[in-house]
């Protein structure tokens, strides 16, 4: 009967739920441990000016190296950190570690004193009542120049309570930090909606950049986003630049900056120092491999 069928269905569902919950709890424990033990570190990916070819800044990216499971990607641990609330500790760890790194780098190399530092902020972190105060405390503690710090937000953060988001962004900007819209084009917001928020720059999502030369439609999307962003007074960073053709096309579209494997993969902090010391102006190999 249908009742029996329903019964079976729920039995299977419960078993699945139990497995999921257990895995989730294990991940939460492991993540909590990672934040305290030094398993969680920060890597840095250069952002390059398309006019000068120089590194103008870096994006900090969280990296989790688990002793037995190996590298766990952000796409796996960021959602768990969000659901468990550990994102607040994770976010503070990344911001603190990255600010310290950039201050140390600047002391060692005068060329590095003007490098900007971009840090990703998740929705739950951004909505926390004392988020702005926590950012302020870390900026003070690490003694970084706040005007070099760029906080990256995604469209989803802005959707549910726009007025509150505008208020938080204004309070952040009062600290002199810059605010960036990340992964633009993947959400549902239009550029006219984005105009409500006092952003300094916009990052075009790599899903449009990655095959802009093969798909004319993507080229048009990138062209439109860049043109409209400029009309709104926003600088544009293109993500996911993997080929020389991407770089050329983006330069032609007057895109200010770019980031991607073509220039450099994200590197550990120690490697960033080497990169800065060795060759300031990144000249990528002719075949685009890194």
Q: Is 242 in the site for Mg ion (CB under 5 A)?
A: no
Residue 176 CB, shortest distance to ligand C2E, in Å, is: 21
Count H helices and E strands in the chain, helices first. 12, 10
Residue 29 CB, shortest distance to ligand C2E, in Å, is: 20
CA distances from 224 to 48, 180, 207, 208 (A): 21, 18, 15, 11
Tell me the C-alpha distance between 48 and 28, whole Å. Answer: 36
Closer to ligand C2E by Cβ: residue 28 or 113: 28
What residues numbered 1-40 form the site for ligand C2E, per CB under 6 A? none
Q: Is 193 in the site for ligand C2E (CB under 6 A)?
A: no
Q: Is 106 in the site for ligand C2E (CB under 6 A)?
A: no
Give strand pairing partners of 154.
Answer: 182
CA angle in degrees (0–180, nearest 5) for 46-104-108: 90
In this structure, the number of other CB atoms found within 10 A of the CB of residue 187 comes to 17
Please tell me the count of residues contacting ligand C2E according to CB under 6 A. Answer: 24
Please tell me the count of residues contacting Mg ion according to CB under 5 A. Answer: 5
Q: Is 260 in the site for ligand C2E (CB under 6 A)?
A: yes
3-state secondary structure 59-87: EEEEEEEECCCEEECHHHHHHHHHHHCCH
Give strand pairing partners of 72.
Answer: 64
Q: Is 182 in the site for ligand C2E (CB under 6 A)?
A: yes
Q: Is 122 in the site for ligand C2E (CB under 6 A)?
A: yes
Q: Is 182 in the site for Mg ion (CB under 5 A)?
A: yes
CA distances from 90 to 23, 48, 193 (A): 20, 27, 30
Closer to ligand C2E by Cβ: residue 189 or 259: 259
Closer to ligand C2E by Cβ: residue 108 or 130: 130
Binding-site ranges for ligand C2E (CB under 6 A): 45, 61-62, 73-75, 78, 91, 94, 120-122, 152, 182-183, 206, 239-242, 259-261, 266
């Amino acid at each position: 009967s249908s009742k029996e069928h329903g019964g079976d269905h729920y039995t299977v569902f419960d078993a699945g739920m139990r497995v999921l919950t257990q895995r989730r709890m294990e991940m939460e424990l492991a993540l909590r441990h990672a934040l305290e033990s030094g398993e969680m570190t920060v890597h840095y990916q250069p952002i390059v000016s398309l006019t000068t070819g120089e590194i103008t800044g870096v994006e900090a990216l969280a990296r989790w190296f688990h002793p037995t499971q190996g590298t766990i990607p952000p796409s796996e641990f960021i959602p768990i950190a969000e659901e468990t609330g550990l994102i607040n500790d994770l976010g503070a760890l990344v911001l603190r570690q990255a600010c310290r790194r950039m201050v140390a780098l600047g002391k060692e190399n005068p060329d590095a004193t003007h490098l900007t530092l971009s840090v990703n902020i998740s929705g739950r972190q951004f909505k926390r009542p004392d988020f702005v105060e926590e950012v302020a405390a870390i900026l003070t503690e690490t003694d970084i120049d706040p005007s070099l710090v760029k906080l990256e937000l995604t469209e989803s953060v802005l959707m549910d309570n726009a007025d509150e988001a505008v208020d938080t962004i204004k309070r952040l900007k009062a600290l002199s930090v810059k605010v960036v819209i990340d992964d633009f084009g993947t959400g549902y917001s239009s550029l006219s909606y984005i105009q409500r928020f006092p952003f300094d720059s916009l990052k075009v999502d790599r899903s449009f950049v990655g095959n802009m030369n093969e798909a004319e439609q993507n080229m048009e999307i990138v062209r439109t986003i860049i043109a409209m962003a400029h009309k709104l007074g926003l600088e544009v960073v293109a993500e996911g630049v993997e080929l020389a053709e991407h770089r050329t096309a983006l330069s032609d579209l007057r895109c200010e900056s770019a980031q991607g494997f073509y220039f450099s993969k994200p590197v550990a902090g120690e490697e960033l120092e080497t990169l800065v010391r060795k060759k300031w102006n990144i000249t990528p190999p002719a075949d685009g491999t890194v």
